[in-house]
A and B are shown apart, each in its own frame.
Chain A
Amino acid sequence: MSALRSLSLPLLALALAGPAAALTYLVLAPGLAALGAPAGGFDPARMLLLYSDLPRLTTALVAGAALGLSGTLLQQVLRNPLASPTTLGLSAGANLALALATLYAPGLYMFGRDPVALAGSLVAGLLVLGLSARRGFSPITLVLGGLVVGLYCGALASLLTLLNDRYLASLFIWGSGSLQQQDWSVPLSLAPRVAVLAVIAVLLARPLTLLALPDENTRGLGLNTATVRWGGAAIALALAAVVTAAVGVIGFIGLIAPTVARIAGARTFAARLAWSPLIGALLLWFTDAAVTVLSGPLASFVPTGAITAVFGSPLLFLLLPRLRVVDRRPPADRTVRTVRRVNTPLVLAALAAGLVGLAVAAVLVGRATDGGWDAVTASILPYVLDWRLPRVLAALSAGAMLAAAGVILQRLTANDMASPEVIGVSAGATMGLAVSLVLVAAPSVAMQLGFSFTGAALVLALIFLVAGRSGFAPERIVLAGIALNAMLDAFVGLFAAAGDPRALRLLNWMAGSTYGIELTPALTAFGLSVGLVALACLTMRWLDILPLGTATSQSLGIAVKRTRGLLFTAAVGLTAAATLVVGPLSFVGLMAPHIARELGLKRALPQLLGAALCGAALMVIADFIGRNAHFPYQLPAGLLSALVGAPFLMLLLLKRR
């Protein structure tokens, strides 16, 4: 990194352009030779140069520049070095909108793909901004909001894919950003759009520069900061949308380009405005040229967008230590709110009773074979117990564990947007399973378990390695988790876009279905959840104190570093066990702690217990819906809980003052 900083910007640009040009020459050489020869008939080399290689090169340059510009604008208007079309969920929103339109309203494409993609980006962007507005657009909250929206869009897209597996490969090609071209229509429609937006951005450059100043100063200069901010954000959003509409999701270029420009010495906004698009263009050009040259020998279909994400997400990981970390204390009571006095034991008892009732009902009530509703009769009870009980138990246990992990993480990071899904351990477990699918055609259950545990453990080790140095600063761990989640997405995208039938299997697992769970593992999960939640209860004193900040905690005699390490281990254990059951995409760990707090359970121990009960209940409901809503087809509980949980959380956050 320090070497990178010492490089001047022009040198950096040359360093990227040189290899890119060399690789491109390899690709273009046969076509260039053919150009010299007299034209006669259909010459593949010549036609490929004119109608595939050159449009593809142009598209890479234009899309890269657009994403670099979009990221720069977002980082400026949000005063957030981590803002980008990828981290704010803009690309994911556009992609979901395109998938929805493809499947259900192809007529919308009458006006082109742009309006659809724009609508998707806009909804995602407004959601993210809405979620973080109440926190003054703090960098962490904003990026976490982006992650939530991105995951939500991803979960919806996965569900659509599972329900329409015939379109699996098509949807994933789009989601993974392929730059392949057969004529000039894509670059010729993309370039003018990007050019117009870039001109507007340049015209806005001066007022945008002033946004870096504190609001009081800019108001003194007579600048309507809100207008400028929204204007800049709108341009950035449009840029992300038109690129997604043209070629799909090109992950992370919009984050990497401005970050690299900044590190390489572009200190002013004007400098970044000039250099980020250039670096973005060169980066995407280089990546795409490398993909083109390598995909021959690799003998498989490789979408460039998945590659930028695979290589870009670890870069974010490497950049983390460079980010300023402030020991934030929660703003002194944000709200003037009457503290409701609740009878804690009564609330907990009611929750427990409700959970038991729900679980019993979930086992006994279901769809009859003719599709109608039916309560179980004694004669078929043994069968039903055999099939339904493990699923209900597993869902219940996973929900409780995720919720407990969520309480720990939220209290630990003093950040109510944190959740087990965010720390990346679930992503690690899933990657382990993906590896087992690559290595073994039909891995046994034990083998799957082994691989996913290994993946989770590796992520844990990585978290310790990278974040341990900083005394487990919460921000770094949460953001490291984002990088891992993005890597997992990229990995799965790569796998699925190639049309590998095993991808469907991985998707099934990621969707968090309780389908395959048998009684013994379900009982094990239940025992594990009871044990781990009980252990977590022992940490309640720390959880009450740590959110007060490092200084306060130390003065109260807590070895902050070691305590945080222990708590993170507990959260990781809970998350890893739960992820094996319901997959990595569940918002239960995010919302159960909130529900518990809304119920008036404010202190650590009651919140932990309440959240565990709520989380368990939520997963039981999700699993019940999954088993019965689309009978005889099954919907995965993990995804369903995400679909129900994310909007719930958004409402919760918006409702707060």
Chain B
Amino acid sequence: MTPTDLLSRRGFLAGCAALATAPALAAGPGDAPRIASLDYGLANTAMALGVTPVGLAAAAHWKDWVVEPPLPRSVVDIGRDREVNLELLASLRPELILATPYVQALRSRLEDIAPVLSLAIYTPDGNPLERSYAAARSLGERLGREREARQFLDEADAFLADCAARVARAKPGPALLINFMDSRHARVYGAQGLYQDVLDRIGVTNAWDGPTTYWGFQTIGLEQLATKAGPDTTIIAFEPIPGDVEPTLAQSPLWTQLPPIAEGRYAVLPSVLTFGTVPAALRFAQLFTDHVDPEGRR
């Protein structure tokens, strides 16, 4: 069973549970509170707690960035996060709007429409996974789904512990996590990022020990991987990969002779929401663990 299966089933269970408890926002028993979200990560968490947003910024691109779980067709696209369509948002009559400090400038306009819950995940202080846990708890409180939140986070802990156990058996070397920008440049993920926190939890060394921004990545020329790719390093690239990247790299001795490439320790994994929350962390943990321990896949 994948975490996303878990999530959707839990979503169903959460819906049932809501019948018993007295949700803070739901108008009546069984009603999911009407929320709108300006952030994929928070929407993702809310869905894990069984609340599907009625409106979501840039909903049209969810399938490319977040992939799982699929977004129900009922979710209305309210425009780009920094310039959501206020008229459309108001017409959805949300009871709560989820936002991050990234869209702080909109706060007062949003508050004219509905109360705003602003949760910071990516800050100069780091620890995005810990902050994502805290955000899930806050969301649970605010949505009247504390129990679901507790259960979700317990299961997340259990899932990460399971991944850690599988990783400990598979004993993979250090990992380099990248997104290709073009055939000469990539983003590499490191300190202060969500992936880093997950790697720490499941016991994998990040081969990128260089500096990163507080969003947890650094833009590099691909040649910079050469000094970090040791004899047992694995390189993981996330989709999407621009079309001309792989043919160009196939001709580059620096790339083809890189130990992880030459020895086949290179994999392309499906897209994961880079600046996501707990569900993105679980998705990454699952994809990574399944890659290093294919037999353990469930």
Contact = CB atoms under 8 A, between A and B. Distances in A.
Contacts of B124: 441
B77 A178 contact: no
Nearest to A53: B223
Contacts of B101: 441-442
Given A185-B248, A634-B80, A516 B106 contact: yes
Contacts of A109: 244
A51 B252 contact: yes
A369 B102 contact: no
Interface stretch (B18-26, B31-39, B253-261, B279-287): B253-261
Contact of B226 (A48, A169, A183): A48
A497 B219 contact: yes
Contacts of A170: 181-182, 185, 242
Given A442-B101, A442-B105, A508-B82, 14 more contacts: A42-B259, A44-B229, A173-B182, A174-B182, A182-B184, A300-B213, A301-B219, A301-B221, A369-B88, A387-B87, A387-B109, A499-B187, A499-B219, A633-B85
Interface of A: 42, 44, 47-48, 50-52, 102, 106, 109, 162, 165-166, 169-170, 173-174, 178, 180-183, 185, 299-301, 366, 369, 383-384, 386-387, 441-442, 445, 497-501, 504-505, 508, 513, 515-516, 518, 631-634
A501 B102 contact: yes
Contact of B262 (A42, A50, A498): A42
A299 B248 contact: no
A169 B187 contact: yes
A300 B218 contact: yes
B220 interface: yes
B83 interface: yes
B78 A632 contact: yes
Interface string B85-123: 111101100000000011011101100100000000001
Interface in B176-212: 181-182, 184-185, 187, 210-211
B232 interface: no
A58 B275 CA distance: 38
B221 A178 contact: yes
A500 B85 contact: no
In this complex, which of A44, A498, A500 has the most chain B Cβ atoms within 10 angstroms of its Cβ? Answer: A44
22 contacts: A44-B226, A44-B229, A51-B254, A52-B226, A162-B80, A173-B185, A180-B185, A180-B223, A181-B221, A182-B184, A182-B222, A182-B255, A183-B254, A299-B211, A366-B87, A442-B104, A497-B219, A513-B83, A631-B85, A632-B78, A632-B84, A634-B80
Contacts of A634: 79-80, 83, 85
A52 B253 contact: no
A106 B185 contact: no
Contacts of A384: 87
Contacts of A106: 243-244
B133 interface: no
A301 B218 contact: yes
Given A109-B244, A174-B182, A499-B217, A387 B86 contact: yes
A52 B223 contact: yes
B252 A301 contact: no
Given A44-B226, A44-B227, A51-B223, A185 B83 contact: no
B9 interface: no
Contacts of A504: 82
B184 A185 contact: no
B249 interface: yes
B171 interface: no
B152 interface: no
A166 B274 CA distance: 11
A513 B91 CA distance: 23
Contacts of A300: 211, 213, 218-219
B116 to A, nearest CB: 14
A632 B87 CA distance: 9
Given A42-B258, A516-B105, A633 B64 contact: no
Nearest to A501: B215
A498 B85 CA distance: 29
A518 B112 CA distance: 12
A289 to B, nearest CB: 15
Contact of A166 (B64, B109, B123): B64
B220 A42 contact: no
B248 to A, nearest CB: 7
Nearest to B215: A501
A633 B80 contact: yes
A633 B61 CA distance: 13
B251 interface: yes
A42 B90 contact: no
B262 A183 contact: no
B253 A183 contact: yes
B123 to A, nearest CB: 8
A593 to B, nearest CB: 31
Interface in B254-272: 254-255, 257-259, 262
Given A173-B181, A300-B218, A386 B112 contact: yes
Contacts of A42: 257-259, 262
B100 to A, nearest CB: 10
Nearest to B92: A369
A183 B252 contact: yes
Interface in B213-251: 213, 215, 217-223, 226-227, 229, 242-244, 248-249, 251
B219 A182 contact: no
Given A182-B222, A369-B91, A501-B102, A508 B244 contact: no
A183 B82 contact: no
Contacts of A513: 83
In this complex, which of A384, A441, A497 has the most chain B Cβ atoms within 10 angstroms of its Cβ? Answer: A441
Contacts of A518: 108-109
Contacts of A51: 223, 252-254
Given A300-B218, A366-B87, A47 B253 contact: yes
A508 B83 contact: yes
A369 B87 contact: yes
Contact of B219 (A366, A445, A498, A633): A498
A384 B90 CA distance: 11
Given A42-B262, A299-B211, A634-B80, A48 B223 contact: yes
A52 B257 CA distance: 13
Nearest to B223: A52
Contacts of B82: 504-505, 508
Nearest to A515: B83
A631 B108 CA distance: 22
In this complex, which of A52, A162, A178, A182 has the most chain B Cβ atoms within 10 angstroms of its Cβ? Answer: A182
Contact of B254 (A52, A102, A500): A52
A183 B221 CA distance: 12
Contacts of A166: 61, 64-65
In this complex, which of A47, A48, A165, A185 has the most chain B Cβ atoms within 10 angstroms of its Cβ? Answer: A47
Contacts of A102: 242
Contact of A181 (B218, B223, B259): B223
A632 B220 CA distance: 35
A301 B243 contact: no
Nearest to A502: B102
B252 A173 contact: no
B104 A181 contact: no
Contacts of B244: 106, 109
Contacts of B83: 508, 513, 515, 633-634
B256 to A, nearest CB: 9
B261 to A, nearest CB: 10
Nearest to B227: A44
In this complex, which of B87, B106, B229, B259 has the most chain A Cβ atoms within 10 angstroms of its Cβ? Answer: B87
Nearest to A513: B83
B259 to A, nearest CB: 5
A169 B181 contact: yes
B51 to A, nearest CB: 22
Contacts of A174: 182
A633 B84 CA distance: 7
In this complex, which of B104, B124, B182 has the most chain A Cβ atoms within 10 angstroms of its Cβ? Answer: B182
